[in-house]
Amino acid sequence: MPSSEPRPTIHIPGTTSHTLAPRAGHRNEGTLRYLKAGTGAPLVLLHTVRTQAEHFRALIPLIADQYTVYALDLPGMGYSEIVPGASYDEPAMREGVKRLLTELDLHDVTLVGESMGAVLALTAAADLPERVRRVVAVNLYDFPGGIARSSLLARVVVGGVLTPGVGPVVAGVEPKPVVRRILQGGLVDKAALREDYLDELLQVGGRPGYPSVARAVYQSMPSLIAARSRYPEVKAPVHLVYGEKDWSRPSDRRADKELLPAADFTQVSGAGHFIALERPDLLADLLNTGE
């Protein structure tokens, strides 16, 4: 990354930061950044809308004794390179996940995604059945509205970001109290959003070009919904995990269970959309026991 770029302010004990160069001939690809920790079979973590690899800061130390953990900054997000004109729809983001698995030649992979990352975990598993052993999909983000369901404030802000003309301007304005309230709309335990993590997200949001990425990601919602058609193609065992207070409705959860009838299903009492922040212990238990 260029020296003018901001650097991460959060360090997760036992992790190292790495980058994956774009492939020759792929002009819309950028450098991908990922964190690595632990030893054992590979486990890849895929974060939510508007976050980054540090979203899993509390989970990584709980699973690093059993897995070699790779936490990816999805294309254009976190500290992955922002490429002007690049796409941020579901197929393009999925390609970033597949690059990590194929360029590092990972096999017997457990793919764990939350929100948007959960959709990408399933679609990447559909594309790479020979590499993926298991998928844990947490609070799938594949329903109309997405984060706009969390609160009136979120609806107003996301609506502004998506509005033609003024959208790019709105996407570039992120007052800390507004970002805090929107993210807390995905939590039952509001204290689970730590202040230093909020500061890190705001720092990333100040990267040159990031408002365009953020707007493009919100605009990608139809492609995430369309990706549901790929779920039945997944050959690996799937475990669906939902927070009791997630933004998805019971009808959304039933619809995904119908597409994945063999999947295990866990509903987490008293948790919202960001289970990796609220209940990393529960996810660690589920992963470490292989259930």
First to last CA, the chain: 38
pLDDT of residue 155: 67
Model confidence pLDDT, tens digit, residues 144-166 = 888 877 876 676 667 665 556 54
pLDDT above 50 for 169: no
Q: How confident is residue 25, by pLDDT bands cut at 50, 70 and 90?
A: confident
Q: Domains (ranges, CATH) in the chain?
A: 16-143+221-289 (3.40.50.1820)
Model confidence pLDDT, tens digit, residues 172-231 = 557 788 888 888 989 999 999 999 999 999 999 889 998 889 888 888 899 999 999 999
Q: Give how far Cα 96 sits from Cα of 36, 46, 86, 162, 278, Å.
A: 16, 11, 12, 24, 27
pLDDT of residue 7: 87
- Nearest one of 111, 104, 108 to 125, comparing CA atoms: 111
3-class SS of residue 36: strand
For the chain, the average pLDDT equals: 91
pLDDT above 80 for 70: yes
Task: Give the β-pairing of 16-20 and 32-38.
Answer: antiparallel
Q: Give, as one character, the DSSP assignment of residue 271.
A: -
Strands (E), the chain: 16-20, 32-38, 41-46, 67-72, 109-114, 132-138, 238-243, 264-268
Least confident of 34-43, 44-53, 138-147, 171-180: 171-180
3-class SS of residue 191: helix
pLDDT of residue 150: 80
Mean pLDDT within 19-48: 95
pLDDT of residue 187: 95
pLDDT above 90 for 27: no
pLDDT of residue 1: 45
Is-contact 202 176, C-beta < 8 A?
yes
What percent of the chain has a predicted confidence (pLDDT) above 90? 74
